[in-house]
Amino acid sequence: MSVLGLGALGFGAGFVGSIVGIGGGVFIVPGLLILFGLPLRQAVAASLVGVVATSAGSAAVYLGEGRVDLPLALRLEVMAVAGAVGGGLAAAWIPPHLLYLLFAAVVLYAALAMFRGGVKGPSSVSGPAEIRHMGIGMTASAGAGMASGLLGIGGGFAKVPIMHAIMGIPLGVAAATSAFMVGLTASASAWIYWMRGDLLMAYAAPVALGVLAGSAIGARVSDRVPTLWIRIALTGILLYVAFEMAWRALGGVAR
Amino acid sequence: MSGAPTEAGGGAAGNAAVDGPTPWGERTRAHGLLSGLLVWATRAAAAAFVLDIVDRRLHLVGVAGAGVLLAAPLVAMLVAAAQYARERDWREAGLAFLLLVMLVAGAWLGRA
């Protein structure tokens, strides 16, 4: 295990995540599994700490700008936290190959979203003064929370499009509200992993530090880097990760 | 913000207000409090992680940093509940308190 390597993984995940508008979880968990050979539950726990760190850093800015819709976040989070607690508890007895399969499906979806343009767009905070389809939003939040608890991801790449396209929330508000929400969701399951003894600080601390630095720098340079090529490269990486996870699910790697 | 306490009608009173007029981008006192809390929690955790990495004898400092980071959302909900209660926005205060209880219960269930 190399502290520098772990920090670099976190930095890369935070950097590209902030550029293309997704959290780092979909990169951190596979990175810890493939590059550092960490068992799945420990990788998920370390990733969750990274997700909380990213969320706290970005949500602090968005809250300061008043872009987070707090009442909406509170409503959606009731379902998301319930899902995260359920997912975090269920992760202890769900066979790893099922989790790998679920991860492959989620990463495949993320790759598709990335190929279609990521979830970043004009940071508009204006739009029709109406929130539609709260039921769909709450159901999606529960699902995103469950995925977060099981797989160590933030789920922003699923939440933001749903909040924007289905619930009618301006993209800037949806992204900011989601950034705040994923921290709450991830902390709910991170505590469960920690209490169960799955959180290894030797891995979580460098990754979280790297994520914090990477997302801070990524946010500053995001307007100056060619996102098209980054998106294409990340789509390729995510497709490889999906394949690797599916391969593990089918018994390619017994871990 | 759909639940801004400055809004007419005392903020987002349930789905009725969520479905009603929602002036986006309004910064309330709760926003400011939570923002400040998260800034300091992130800084404290980052400093603790650095100390942990630089000197392994300070491992407990790193653990404390993780504790601060992961406890920040819980404290945020406590602060939000208190602030909304102060503004007599009982529905938002109740939701924030419910989330706090759920977060604590989740951690307790993980230990069990």
Query: Judging by beta carbons within 10 Å of its beta carbon (0-12, 13-18, 19+), is residue B9 exposed, middle or buried?
Result: exposed
**What residues 7-36 of chain B have any CB closer than 8 A to a CB of chain A?**
11-12, 15, 17-28, 30-32, 34-36
In this predicted structure, the answer to whether residue B10 has a pLDDT above a threshold of 60 is no
pLDDT above 80 (res A67)? yes
> Residue A223: enclosing H or E segment and its boundaries?
none
Greater pLDDT, A196 or A19: A196
Q: Is the Cβ pair A134, B18 closer than 8 Å? A: yes
Mean confidence (pLDDT) of chain A: 86
Task: Give the predicted TM-score (pTM) of the model.
Answer: 0.86
In angstroms, the CA A175 to CA A179 distance is: 6
- Flag the least confident range among A87-91, A122-126, A212-216: A122-126
- Interface predicted TM-score (ipTM) of this complex, two decimals: 0.86
For B39, the closest chain A residue by CA position comes to A60
Q: Higher-confidence residue: B59 or B99?
A: B99
CA-CA distance, A180 to A200, in Å (whole number)?
Answer: 25
Least confident among A145-149, A248-252, B7-11, B71-75: B7-11
Q: Which one of B15, B34, B42 would you mutate to disrupt binding with A, by most A Cβ within 10 Å of its Cβ?
A: B42
Average pLDDT, chain B: 81
The Cα–Cα gap between A16 and B37 comes to 26
pLDDT band at A44 (very low <50, low <70, confident <90, very high): very high
What would the mean pLDDT of A45-57 be, rounded to a whole number? Answer: 91
| Other residues' Cβ atoms within 10 Å of the Cβ of residue A2 | 11
- Contact yes or no for B96 and A74 at CB 8 A: yes
Return the SS3 of A170. coil
Residue A165, pLDDT score: 81
- Judge residue A210's burial from the number of C-beta atoms within 10 Å of its C-beta, 0-12 exposed, 13-18 middle, 19 or more buried: buried
B110–A191 CB contact, under 8 Å: yes
Q: Among the listed ranges A54-63, A67-76, B12-21, which one has the minimum average pLDDT value? A: B12-21
pLDDT at A18 over 50: yes
Burial (CB < 10 A; 0-12, 13-18, 19+), residue A195, is middle
A21 pLDDT band, cuts 50/70/90, is low
A128 pLDDT more than 60: no
By Cβ distance, the residue of B19, B72, B92 closest to A71 is B92
- Angle, alpha carbons B35-A23-A52 (nearest 5°): 45
Summarised one tens digit per residue, pLDDT across range B57-89 is 888 898 999 999 999 999 999 999 999 999 999
pLDDT at B56: 78
Strands (E), A31-184: none
Give contacts of B70 with chain A, Cβ < 8 Å.
49, 52, 187, 190-191, 194
Residue with tokens 């707090």: A70
pLDDT, tens only, A79-121? 999 999 999 999 988 998 999 999 999 889 888 877 776 555 5
